Amino acid sequence: MSAISKRFPGVVALDRVDFGVATGEIVGLVGENGAGKSTLMKILTGIHRADSGEISIAGVPVAMHGPADAARHGIGIIHQELEVIDTVDVAGNVFLGREAHWAGPLRLLDHRRMESETERQLARIGAQVSPRTVVGRLSTAQKQFVAIARALSMNARLLVLDEPTASLGSSEAGRLFAVLLELRKAGTAIVYISHRLREIEALADRAVVLRDGRNAGALQRGELTRDRLVQLMVGRAIDSGPSRPVRPNVAAGDASAAVARLQVDRVRTGRYPAVEVSLTVNRGEVLGVAGLIGAGRSELAEAICGVGTRVSGRVLLDGEPLAIGSPRDAIGAGICLVPEDRRGRGVIGAMSLRENITLPALGAHARLGLVKRASEAGAAAAIATTLTVKASSIEVAAATLSGGNQQKVVLGKWLALQPRVIIFDEPTQGVDVGAKAEIHRLIRQLADRGAAVMMISSDLDEIVAESDRVAVMHEGRITGVLDRSACTPESIMLLAVA
Amino acid sequence: MSRKEIGVFLLLVALCAIVAAASPQFLSAANLQNVGRLVGTYGIFSIGVGIVIITGGIDLSVGSICALLGVLLSMMLVEWGWPAPVALAAVVALGGGLGAAHGLLVARLRLQPFIVTLCGLLLYRGAARYVAGDSTKGFGTGEGFEWARALASGSVAGVPMPFVVMCVVAFLAWVLLHRSVYGRHLFAIGHNAEAARYSGVDTRAVIAWAYVLSGILAAVSAILIAFYTNSISPASHGNFYELYAIAAAVVGGCSLRGGEGSVLGIVMGAALLQVLRNLVNLLDIPGSLDFAVMGAVILIGAIADQLFGRRLRRGAG
């Protein structure tokens, strides 16, 4: 692939990226969240089309108009979210969309042929799975093998694996590596995307690093170390971020119960039930929570706010343990969440700005259960003005607003409640630059008024610039808490990768 | 009125004009009273089902509830000699109770509304036939509860009582849906239940109450219909009423995906269906075509709405 560029509305996802892989080579593809790895692979496999640039196979330029083209050229991809159908058996999944059938107008399925071929591919990668097992009953690792068998049965000459070990145990990961090395020996070209830099170190013949949609560098086998990779991923000289005076009411690292507003005490989430997480957020403090996608940050936030599963552990507010079983309980206690999925969970697109903003606090504008419309409209208008929401009126549907303005509406829901704790999950994702600065200002304002703020973000610059302290998570656990002075993109990234 | 409501209103007016032109009998006092009585009784349970549909659910049980409660009402008054106020209160409470059972199964156990209320449809029909010994029930001469029967067959200044009752119910429902906190939460859940939950709305309670309301309104209709017909055969009484209600709600602008609809629209939808039935009667169309005519007109309406609506959206965009 050479000089691949791709623009999405508002962002340049890829800017003249070159990428190549030879037969019998394993190339590690590395980069922060949003660096462009997935987009590049989606272009390679025909899911997206590049705006410019060229894809060639064995020196011959090819056009990728869709996944079917990619499959025809022998490119197989195994996505992070395994695309297998749980209710169908293994053989059915391996042959999904290209089922073997008998001749004749009825095109009856040829189960025997599909099962024997599936068995052959599974044996090749040493997976102990029967082709007739329903996939829903398999472990994640076994599903992974089903996906690989599917790619192999299509005679993939190039195999792309996106975070294949994210849900595998170490022995299962070891098996997968053996399979990949086997395939490499057989001449298959392999692209291996992972945040686990140890795996890249161990496995890759070469690593290509992307940063902000550009080639940030490549490392050959001999020079491939974790430190070098992190340097290229972050790609900045070490600095302490924009300087901001250290505020006196937040003694750095002071986590004693006396000033702690929110205490998370040995909480285990449904996603990582074996890991206990403890942290504290003080009054007037912004605690940044950094980590890679899948590190368990959102799950932690959801467990605190009563949305997700809290397997065990306690949440304390101002030293008092809380019984939170639903978002309603959390909001009642003064803990509010600005969720990552803005359209699905933040706003109700079909309802007006006014109705969205007053939804959690409508009781305050009602008598005997009937809404006092003037009071409601006045409060909503005041909040919309405070937040500088750009809309022609508070009666327009929330869905018509830009991402940044929608995010302000979500924030507006909570402002009237004067939250004691407010948790932001990716507050500025998909938000334009101007609105981003305003949202940052509002976050700081909430903290200044005494709220304890938790800010989950995958944007390292945002984390470094906006946080008083930073907690870094990796695979469900907190791998470190950095004071403001120790907080650099590199120090965070080193804690965020294995 | 919203665009949808105006659409239904125009359709209703056009239909009335056509029927009136074709058959002068349509505008006779007796016919209008008759249609008004039916609009009233059907409108009441249609509003209940409409509330459930706004949450994104469905209530298929109202027809069978009508049969079961009708049979019980007759037995309470005629066979067991209960005082009329007690019997009416018991019927309404029973309706609310059945609705509460549906609501809890849907909101707490997360069963699918279609399945819960389909089982209700079968269960209550069976229960009605069993309780009544499969024999037709009535109220005889109705001594001692004439006032209660007047609710169904009487009229106020020429307006049939069921229509008056429906107007009261519709007004209360309008306040509840379009002016109260509960109503706001109802629509929020219908549009996006996740976002509503994240905003602290007690989604389970709101949904459960929608089924309770549907049950209560089905009970109110059941009382009116039982008194009006004065002959409740448990195997057929109330058959297809759930479909009338769903049709009325959908014609009136409710989306089966939830979040959309209005009381005014539902009432006009219910009226439209009754005018259509009246049309079949008055225009000497064979009565067996009754359902076919309704189906055809609703389908044409839906197609027109889709085409017209799409052009409107394109025009706006």
What contacts 24+ positions apart, CB below 8 Å, involve B148-156?
B148/B84, B148/B88, B148/B223, B148/B227, B149/B227, B151/B223, B151/B224, B151/B227, B152/B37, B152/B41, B152/B223, B152/B224, B152/B225, B152/B226, B152/B227, B152/B228, B153/B227, B153/B228, B155/B33
Half-sphere exposure in the Cβ direction for B142 (13 Å, CA)? 18
Does residue A429 share a domain with residue A336?
yes
Distance from the B144 Cα atom to the nearest Cα atom in chain A, whole angstroms: 38
Return the pLDDT at A254. Answer: 44
Interface touch A344/B192, C-beta < 8 Å: yes
**Residue A52 burial class via C-beta count within 10 angstroms: exposed 0-12, middle 13-18, buried 19 and up:** exposed
Cα dihedral across residues A258, A259, A264, A266: positive or negative: negative
Return the pLDDT at A252. Answer: 42
Q: Is B191 on the interface with A (CB under 8 A)?
A: yes
Q: Is A419 on the interface with B (CB under 8 A)?
A: no
Note whether residue A251 is domain-resident: no
Note whether residue A472 is domain-resident: yes
Return the pLDDT at B124. Answer: 98
Q: Is B261 on the interface with A (CB under 8 A)?
A: no
Return the pLDDT at A413. Answer: 94
Alpha-carbon distance A335 to A319, whole Å?
A: 14
Instruction: Please report the residues numbered 133 through 172 in chain A whose beta carbons come closer than 8 angstroms to any beta carbon of chain B.
Output: none
Q: Total structural domains in chain B?
A: 1
Interface touch B197/A350, C-beta < 8 Å: no
Note whether residue B269 is domain-resident: yes
Average pLDDT of A237-243?
43
Note whether residue A250 is domain-resident: no
Which letter does DSSP use for residue A245 in this model? P
Q: Kindly report the CATH number assigned to the domain that includes residue A484.
A: 3.40.50.300
Tens place of pLDDT for every residue, chain B, 317 residues?
Answer: 788 899 889 989 999 999 999 999 999 999 999 999 999 999 999 999 999 999 999 999 999 999 999 999 999 999 999 999 999 999 999 999 999 999 999 999 999 999 999 999 999 999 999 999 999 999 887 777 888 889 898 899 999 999 999 999 999 999 999 999 999 999 999 999 999 999 999 999 999 999 999 999 999 999 999 999 999 999 999 999 999 999 999 999 998 889 999 999 999 999 999 999 999 989 888 988 888 988 888 888 788 777 876 565 554 43
Interface touch A327/B200, C-beta < 8 Å: yes
Q: Per residue in A309-328, is it b (16+ CB within 10 Å) or e — as a string? A: ebeebebbbbeeebebebbb
Which pLDDT tens digit goes with each residue over A88-134? 899 998 888 888 888 888 888 888 999 999 999 888 777 788 999 99
Alpha-carbon distance A346 to A342, whole Å?
A: 4
Does residue A307 share a domain with residue A432?
yes
Query: From the list A332, A347, A371, which residue is nearest B181 (CB)?
Result: A371
- Would you call A260 helix, strand, or coil by DSSP? strand
Note whether residue A162 is domain-resident: yes
Greatest distance between any 2 Cα atoms in chain A: 81
Alpha-carbon distance B301 to B310, whole Å?
A: 14
Residue type, A179: V
Query: From the list A331, A345, A370, which residue is nearest B194 (CB)?
Result: A345
Of B39, B42, B45, B51, the C-alpha closest to B176 is B51
Average pLDDT of A208-233?
86
Q: Which helix (H) or strand (E) segment is A43 a member of?
A: helix A37-44
Alpha-carbon distance A44 to A41, whole Å?
A: 5
Does residue A113 share a domain with residue A56?
yes
Alpha-carbon distance B46 to B37, whole Å?
A: 14
Return the pLDDT at A166. Answer: 72
Note whether residue A155 is domain-resident: yes
Does residue A409 share a domain with residue A348?
yes
Q: Is A346 on the interface with B (CB under 8 A)?
A: yes
Of A307, A380, A387, the C-alpha closest to A341 is A307
Answer with the residue of higher pLDDT: B24 or A152. Answer: B24
- Would you call A97 helix, strand, or coil by DSSP? coil
E strand intervals along chain B: 155-156, 159-160
| Structural contact between residues A213 and A36, judged by C-beta atoms closer than 8 angstroms | yes
φ, ψ for residue A348 (rounded to 5)?
-105, 100
Q: Per residue in B182-217, is it b (16+ CB within 10 Å) or e — as a string? A: bbbbbbbbbbbbbbbbbbbbbbbebbbbbbbbbbbb
Note whether residue B275 is domain-resident: yes
Q: How confident is the model at residue A68 (pLDDT cuts 50, 70, 90)?
A: confident
Average pLDDT of A433-459?
91
Note whether residue B295 is domain-resident: no
Return the pLDDT at A236. Answer: 57
Interface touch B197/A327, C-beta < 8 Å: yes
Q: Which residues, 6+ apart, have CB-to-CB distance to A254 below 8 Å?
A: A282
The residue from A219, A234, A249 where one domain ends is A234
Q: What is the pTM of this model?
A: 0.82
Length of chain B equals: 317
Q: Which domain holds residue A92?
A: 2-234
Interface touch B181/A360, C-beta < 8 Å: no
Note whether residue A134 is domain-resident: yes
Q: Which helix (H) or strand (E) segment is B3 a member of?
A: helix B3-22
Average pLDDT of A225-231?
85
Interface touch A371/B182, C-beta < 8 Å: no
Note whether residue A252 is domain-resident: no
Share of chain A above pLDDT 90, in %: 36
Interface touch A348/B188, C-beta < 8 Å: yes
Q: Which domain holds residue B247?
A: 3-288
Alpha-carbon distance A56 to A75, whole Å?
A: 12
Note whether residue B277 is domain-resident: yes
Note whether residue B270 is domain-resident: yes
Does residue A393 share a domain with residue A268?
yes
Query: From the list A337, A339, A348, which residue is nearest B196 (CB)?
Result: A348
| Structural contact between residues B295 and B282, judged by C-beta atoms closer than 8 angstroms | no
| Structural contact between residues A151 and A76, judged by C-beta atoms closer than 8 angstroms | yes
φ, ψ for residue B230 (rounded to 5)?
55, 20
Q: Is A325 on the interface with B (CB under 8 A)?
A: no
Within 10 A of A329 (CB to CB), how many other CB atoms are there? Answer: 15
Cα-trace Rg, chain A: 25
Answer with the residue of higher pLDDT: B133 or A86. Answer: B133
Q: Which residues, 6+ apart, have CB-to-CB distance to A345 below 8 Å?
A: A339, B194, B195, B198
Average pLDDT of A153-161?
86
Return the pLDDT at B242. Answer: 95
Does residue A420 share a domain with residue A283?
yes
Note whether residue B72 is domain-resident: yes
Of A236, A285, A233, the C-alpha closest to A262 is A285
Alpha-carbon distance B25 to B1, whole Å?
A: 30
Average pLDDT, chain A: 86
Note whether residue B300 is domain-resident: no
| Residue of B198, B204, B257, B313 for testing the chain A interface, max A β-carbons within 10 Å | B198
Instruction: Say whether pLDDT at A482 is over 90.
Output: yes
Q: Which residues, 6+ apart, have CB-to-CB distance to B41 below 8 Å?
A: B152, B162, B166, B221, B224, B225, B228
Does residue A484 share a domain with residue A349?
yes
Return the pLDDT at B137. Answer: 94
Among chain B residues, the shortest Cα distance to A410 is held by B199
Query: From the list A326, A328, A371, which residue is nearest B184 (CB)?
Result: A371
Of A496, A452, A459, the C-alpha closest to A476 is A496
Which letter does DSSP use for residue B80 in this model? S
Instruction: Say whether pLDDT at A238 is over 50.
Output: no
Instruction: Say whether pLDDT at A311 is over 70.
Output: yes
- How far is CA A62 from each of CA A44, A151, A457, A494, rounded to the nearest angstrom? 10, 20, 38, 39
Does residue A194 share a domain with residue A77?
yes
- Would you call B184 helix, strand, or coil by DSSP? helix
- Would you call B5 helix, strand, or coil by DSSP? helix
Return the pLDDT at A253. Answer: 43
Distance from the B261 Cα atom to the nearest Cα atom in chain A, whole angstroms: 13
- How far is CA A413 from each of CA A203, B188, B198, B202, rounded to the nearest angstrom? 48, 14, 11, 16
Note whether residue A347 is domain-resident: yes
Q: Total structural domains in chain A?
A: 2
Greatest distance between any 2 Cα atoms in chain B: 65
Identify the residue whose tokens are 């989430």. A269
DSSP state string for A116-184: HHHHHHHHHTT----TTSBGGGS-HHHHHHHHHHHHHHTT-SEEEEESTTTT--HHHHHHHHHHHHHHH
Note whether residue B211 is domain-resident: yes
Cα dihedral across residues A123, A129, A135, A140: positive or negative: negative
Strands B155-156 and A260-269: unpaired
